[in-house]
Structure 1
Amino acid sequence: MAKPSGPQPQIGEFPIDTGTCELEPDPYSTNGWVLRINGVPSSHIDLDDPLRLDFEYMRWIASLVDARFPATDRLRALHLGGGACSLARRFAASHPQARQVVVELDGRLAELVRAWFDLPRAPLMRLRVGEARAVTESLSEGSRDLVIRDVFAGAVTPAPLTTREFTRAVKRVLGPDGVYVVNCGDSPDLAMARREAATIGGEFGHTAIIADPAMLKGRRYGNVIIAGSDAPLGAAPGLARELLGGGVPAQLWQDERVRTFAAGAQVITD
């Protein structure tokens, strides 16, 4: 009997190099899947629609990127943190000329994700097994337009990926108008978001923050998207309106407000 072609998701829990992952069907879509890593929801994939992003913070990142890079651009993107490669798969659909590298620490997880989902193949997208900082520091100067950091060990980003020294390594890899975007998970006191904003703002001329109002008012744990660039960020017409109109409305803070938010926070160093 011929072996089935195409992606073959498998329901269940599987051992990976860093613990376990679990794949379960999305009860609200016919061909959607949720990937959990060590019990924490990590990614969502809709095999019928690569443009669909179920996690709101990923939609916010996509909106920011779309506002900066036209769909016709040959976008050179580096994703630090793989999971199910949801954002890379989305940009492959929205920016057909994009060339992307996804860095995933867990080699076994990378193998499973390749088998389960219809990920673009090289040169459109390469899935590279490695540690995010080491890979970033090995790349050529000015070789990327976009770097997205979405790396977590449990609920926390590993400290070496938050520092001034690492941010400088990212900036070296970016082209002159490149954009660095991080997903910062934080508690209601927003202490880490302030420090990350101070760190990124210390290396880039322009910054932006996207998060939902409750998060920015210190009412819950959640995600704060922080971006840095040497070109203006977040000023595209309609971006703020688009973010407010989503399933989870989000606020967009541009550079002046971000720097006020980060004032007095200690820059993170090695």
Structure 2
Amino acid sequence: MGRKRDRPDETPQTRLSDGRIARVAPSEITSGFEVDVDGTPQSHVDLADPTHLHFEYVARMGAVIDQLPDGPLTAVHLGAGGLTIPRYIAAARPGSRQQVIELEQLLVDLVREHLPLPRGASIRMRIGDAREGLGRLPSALRGAVDLLVSDVYSGA
């Protein structure tokens, strides 16, 4: 049985550039949180256990990441959402360097305020279009990453 939200009117939210509403709310199923956009769950984050990958497609990404050689990774993420996969890599592969490109500054601000990143995680944020952002990555990253994650959200 899901947990009842006592005060849903106090759920942290923001209006994105296209008018949709992004929210961060406690999960009704697990101990984590969900980021949803206009009511469609987009990310699940468990701050106590960032290796818990609740959504099936995200768990599949984690399974692929786990097949890479041991040790820190250099990763680029197209799309941020709740930063679930960057958090997973930071926990499972300490010392990893990560760049995230996200279109929506207000989404990043909402997530970072209400679902803070772990201390010491080397996760750098860039705001802008993913395709354009790839062209502006530091030269040391161009063609030299271990992992490129494309998880750009475009609606239900």
Partners in 1 of 2:24 and 2:38 — Cα distance? 11
Report the equivalent of 2:129: 131
Alignment of 1:112-131 (within 5 A): 112-120=110-118, 124-131=122-129
Counterparts of 1:73-112 in structure 2 under 5 Å? 74-112=72-110
CA positional deviation for 1:148 = 0.5
Task: Name the CA distance, whole Å, in 1 between partners of 2:143 and 2:24.
Answer: 37
- For these two proteins, the number of residue pairs brought into alignment is 143
Please give the residue correspondences for 1:1-270 in structure 2 after superposition, counting only pairs within 5 Å.
Answer: 11-18=11-18, 19-30=20-31, 32-70=32-70, 72=71, 74-120=72-118, 124-139=122-137, 140=139, 141-155=142-156
Report 1 or 2 for greater relative contact order, CA contacts < 8 Å, sequence distance ≥ 6: 2
Distance apart, 1:40 and its partner CA: 1.9
- The C-alpha deviation readout for 1:39-59, integer Å capped at 9, x for no partner, is 321100111111101111111
Relative to the length of structure 2, the TM-score reads 0.83
| In 1, Cα distance between equivalents of 2:118 and 2:125 | 10
Deviation at 1:121, TM superposition (A): 6.0
| CA distance in 2: counterparts of 1:54 and 1:80, whole angstroms | 20
AA in 2 matched with 1:154: G
SS of corresponding position for 2:23: strand
More helix by share: 1
Q: TM-score, normalised by structure 1?
A: 0.50
Aligned mates of 2:119, 2:131 — CA distance in 1:
24
CA deviation after TM superposition for structure 1 residue 93, in Å: 0.1
> By how many angstroms is 1:138 displaced?
2.3
| Structure 1 gap ranges (5+) | 1-9, 156-270
Does the Cα contact within 8 Å between 2:90 and 2:121 map onto a contact in 1?
Answer: no
Q: What is the letter of the counterpart of residue 16 of structure 1?
A: L
2:14 and 2:110 in contact (8 A); partners too: no
Gaps of at least 5 residues in structure 2 are 1-9
Cα distance, 1:16 vs structure 2: 2.5
In structure 2, C-alpha distance between the alignment counterparts of 1:123 and 1:47, rounded to whole Å: 13
Secondary structure at 1:68's aligned position in 2?
A: coil
Q: Take 1:69 and 1:103, find their aligned partners in 2: how far apart are those partners? A: 24
Closer/same/farther in 2, CA of residues 112 and 86 from structure 1, 3 Å limit = same
Contact 1:17 1:109 in 2 (8 A): no
What letter matches 1:129 in structure 2? I
